Chain A
Amino acid sequence: MGVEQKLGNMGVATLKLEQAVNWARTNAMWPMLFGLACCAIEMMSAQAANYDMSRFGMELMRASPRQSDLMIVAGRVSRKMAPVLRRLYDQMPDPKWVIAMGDCASCGGVFNNYAIVQGVDEIVPVDVYVAGCPPRPEALIHGILILHEKVRGEKIKDWA
């Protein structure tokens, strides 16, 4: 049944503002191009034709942080790159979410040394961690769907 069946005679639907806003946010979440290392290849292939991310609303990836909602940190972050990452995160307008894709972004991965940040949650607050080295495109899409569920559960008093 389409939405016409629910509207009754007046063409009016009632729903909570939370639901409407969260639905709008999840269905058009634009990721920022932040592929740093090998996980970027899997992110690209998740965006490409076979495992399409545009089905989930991420039609395009914006290179500019000012025009994106979601930062998928794909790859290892070195100590030299860390302030740049923080600056780009600060330049994103609210509402924004962060997915730490892969092992290096979640916990430092195989690199336990002086040069790699041990988990990007030392720098930015992360919503979803996707494990894998690299995670398959399906795993990344699963992580994105989990983020969508998390966003759908957000309450109105958390926004402000």
Chain B
Amino acid sequence: MNDYLQSVVPVLVERFGLESHEFRDQVNLLVPAPKITEVCLALRDEFKFDVLSGQTAVDYWPKQEPRFHVVYQLYSLSNNVRLGLRVPLDGNAPSLATVEGVYPNANWHEREIWDMFGIRFDGHSDLRRILMPYDWEGHPLRKDYPLGYEEVAFSFNQEEVDQRKPRPKE
């Protein structure tokens, strides 16, 4: 662990009651969902983690509790240190407070997580789909979403596949 992280992580663990996992040089802190905004605020203001370099989510589908982990990757420019946060969430109607007020670039990241996983962010200013069309149904990156592939056309079934393809009217 980096020296700076070695000084920061015990303080965080003690103050907010988090768990810390370390693998090689990476540190991941498990944050319970209600505390995410204050943890991020503290990290940005006191500990100088000023860049949210990535925010994404993971679906551990057959496991329902927790089903999702929302992963934040923070970076401190002045100390050149990276820190990961993970928020475990339940399966049905998962929702979490937004960190858009803390890191403005979370706006699009959270829109993408809403689009792909269906995790609502309370307090988000503009939560709508960003990658799929606006009226799409379903959340594609969940593990129980179908792959959506079309049947591959080889020469022996070319005509059958062709008949089923949608064609424009003119």
Chain A interface residues toward B at CB < 8 A: 79-80, 86, 107-108, 112-115, 118-119, 121-125
Contact = CB atoms under 8 A, between A and B. Distances in A.
* Nearest 5 pairs of A and B residues by beta carbon: A114-B148, A112-B149, A80-B133, A118-B150, A122-B166
A80 B131 contact: yes
B167 A122 contact: yes
Contacts of A107: 153
A79 B135 CA distance: 11
B165 A113 contact: no
B34 interface: no
Interface residues of B, number: 18
B133 A124 contact: no
Nearest to B151: A112
A108 B161 CA distance: 14
Nearest to B152: A112
Contacts of B32: none
Contacts of A86: 168
B147 A79 contact: no
Contacts of A115: 131-132, 140, 148
Given A112-B150, A114-B147, A115-B140, A79 B133 contact: yes
B167 A113 contact: no
Given A113-B148, A115-B131, A125-B170, 20 more contacts: A79-B133, A79-B136, A80-B131, A80-B133, A86-B168, A112-B152, A113-B147, A113-B149, A114-B140, A114-B145, A114-B146, A114-B148, A115-B132, A115-B140, A115-B148, A118-B150, A121-B168, A122-B165, A122-B167, A122-B168
